[in-house]
Amino acid sequence: MTNSLLSQQLDALLTNETNFIANLSNASALLYHQSLSDINWAGFYLYDETNDELHLGPFQGKVACMHIKNGSGVCGTALQQQKVLRVDNVHEFAGHIACDSASNSEIVVPLIKDDKIIGVLDIDSPSLFRFSPEDEVELVEFSKTLLKHI
CA–CA gap between residue 65 and residue 100 (Å, rounded): 9
Angle between helix 5-14 and helix 20-29 axes, rounded to 10 deg: 150
Residue-wise pLDDT for 57-103, tens only, equals: 999 999 999 999 999 999 999 999 999 999 999 999 988 887 778 89
Instruction: Name the DSSP class of 121.
Output: E
* CA proximity to 39, closest of 51, 29, 49, 48: 29
Which pLDDT does position 2 carry in this prediction? 45
Which pLDDT does position 1 carry in this prediction? 43
Which pLDDT does position 95 carry in this prediction? 83
CA–CA gap between residue 52 and residue 55 (Å, rounded): 10
Residue-wise pLDDT for 113-145, tens only, equals: 999 999 999 999 999 999 999 999 999 999 999
* Least reliable range by pLDDT among 14-28, 88-102, 104-118: 88-102
pLDDT grade, residue 54 (50/70/90)? very high
The backbone region for 123, taken as left when phi is positive above 0, alpha when psi lies in -120 to 50, beta otherwise, is: beta
